[in-house]
Amino acid sequence: MNLAITTWNINSVRLRFPIVKDFLEAERPDILCLQETKTPDDRFPANDFKALGYLHQAFVGNKGYNGVAVLSRLPFTARDAMQMCGRADARHQSVTLAPDARKAAGITIHNFYVPAGGDEPDPVVNDKFAHKLAFLADMDRWCGSMTPTSRPAILVGDLNIAPYETDVWNHKQLLGVVSHTPIETQTLEKLRADHGWIDAIRTHRPEPERVYTWWSYRAQDWKAADRGRRLDHVWLSPDLGPKLQMTSIHKQARGWDRPSDHVPVTVRLAL
């Protein structure tokens, strides 16, 4: 059995549903994890996703900001939406696949949307950056207390950090820019390594290859400039690492009509 999972910061699921629909009809991942859905739960296009075969859904959202969703063709049982940093701001959703999911049964999928952190990388003067660092500390405590990697687990999402030098278009120029500052990159890598998570994308596309999943709206010609960052991640628990079969970054989606500034990232496991 193959299991395909896609993560995508969609930057408003209702606004961009047409391109999501096109993507799902073309690629048919088993599970789609969205971030920044920007819609309250009663306005989420649940029926539209069901019409595409994604009958099993877990989502939490707010009007106009944040929001995460897990949409699955496979059934799941347990679900959870943690309140990170004591805030009910819709930045986490998890599900555990049910026995009817066959060989994928028992796998837990965690979908995170880490705060962007604002513009100034100083927690003393920038509350948004302080929140980002506190969120990462919360993730670290959660990993330590719940030991999610002791069971089959996949962590996906817009983690809003490009950890490696080749995860950004210019390492030296971006060292003082939020998403690539040393405190962020070192914290994220330590969190990942300390708790045994495997970076799926870098397993198949190791350095020194440059890998990006986000291109700013500010660029007049994003493709020509190619000033990207790898902000979107898929991590695997150790037992799932050997089952990684394929990774794909759907760069073409950045050029679609009314796109998100992030593109879909897909991994496929052979279970």
Which pLDDT score is estimated for 150?
97
- Average pLDDT over every residue of 145-173: 98
Average pLDDT over residues 200-218: 97
Helix (H) or strand (E) holding 121, with range, is: none
The CA-to-CA distance between both ends of the chain, in Å, stands at: 5
Check which CATH number belongs to the domain holding 45 and give it.
Answer: 3.60.10.10
pLDDT grade for 228, boundaries at 50, 70 and 90: very high
What is the CB neighbour count within 10 angstroms for residue 74? 19
pLDDT confidence band for 221 (50 / 70 / 90): very high
* Domain encompassing residue 69: 2-270
Q: How many independent structural domains does the chain possess?
A: 1
Among the listed residues 64, 98, 94, 72, the one whose alpha carbon sits nearest the alpha carbon of residue 82: 94
Per-residue model confidence (pLDDT) at position 159: 98
pLDDT more than 70, % of the chain: 100
Q: Which helix (H) or strand (E) holds 194?
A: helix 182-194
